[in-house]
Amino acid sequence: MINILFVGDIVGDGGCKIFKETLAALKAKEKIDAVIVNGENSDNRNGISKSSAEYLFSAGADVITGGNHSFRNNDILEMMDSEEALLRPENYSKKASGHGVCIIDKLSYKIMVLNLAGRIYMDPAEDPFSTAKNIISKHSDCAVKIIDFHAEATSEKAALAHYLKGSVSAVLGTHTHIPTADAQIMEGGTAFITDVGMTGPRHSILGVEVENIVQKFITGMPVRFHQAKGDCVFCGILLSVDEKTGKTAQIKPINTI
């Protein structure tokens, strides 16, 4: 068995810092073999930047996944093209910078990581269902397959998990920043959770200053969002996966909320 840690949407400097601080202890305690993080909000300006990506890699991330904020900062685009382990959703336009799939090669086994975006209430994207099937068929030599499905609708996340059950190790939902209580292992050894949650400011609304969001709802007017500061929470999922079959034996939420 191998242990894979997936960390939910990392927000700003605070999220980056608590990821680094928490990972060291978790690696020792849980004997973690690979670390995947969603870093599309890891820069304080929103989105992901070259500096925040470099920080997450240096802190211990093997792969950084993205989402609808992946392209917010221009300084990340060149790195997206050159860094194999920095992903954006694979079902975005082929003309967009970057790529959405990579392989973690641990010599004795490989882990395929696929990043997908939903289409309900999200930016335009190609069909995540057919995209997933296509990528899976191209990597039949890789038993362990982890999918970050960055999507808004819970129904779309669950539908993809059911569609792929038995053919991937895990379908892990991101984007909504709220950890859900439905972690499970589906038929065929596929782990699923609707949303892993957020690693970032505790006193916030999805990582944004509370006052910004409240003002927007009260006035109905555009408001400039600022990332919240202060004490942070850590949200992640620990998977125990058979590296030979790709089937997940255990899915365990890890959070400090």
The angle at the Cα of 79, spanning 75 to 82, to the nearest 5 degrees, equals 155
* Locus of tokens 């191998």: 2
Task: Residue 252: name the closest of 154, 184, 190 by CA.
Answer: 184
Task: Residue 242: name the closest of 172, 164, 181, 170 by CA.
Answer: 170
Residue positions annotated with a catalytic role = 69
Residue 87 and residue 77: Cα distance in Å, rounded?
11
Token pair recorded at residue 39: 């870093």
User: In sequence order, which residues have a C-beta less than 8 Å from that of residue 161 and are 6 or more positions away?
Assistant: 149, 171, 186, 190, 192
3-state secondary structure of 238: strand
For 108, counting Cβ atoms within 10 Å of its Cβ (0-12 exposed, 13-18 middle, 19+ buried), the class is exposed
| φ, ψ for residue 210, nearest 5 deg | -55, -45
- Torsion, Cα 170 175 180 183, to 10 degrees, reads 0
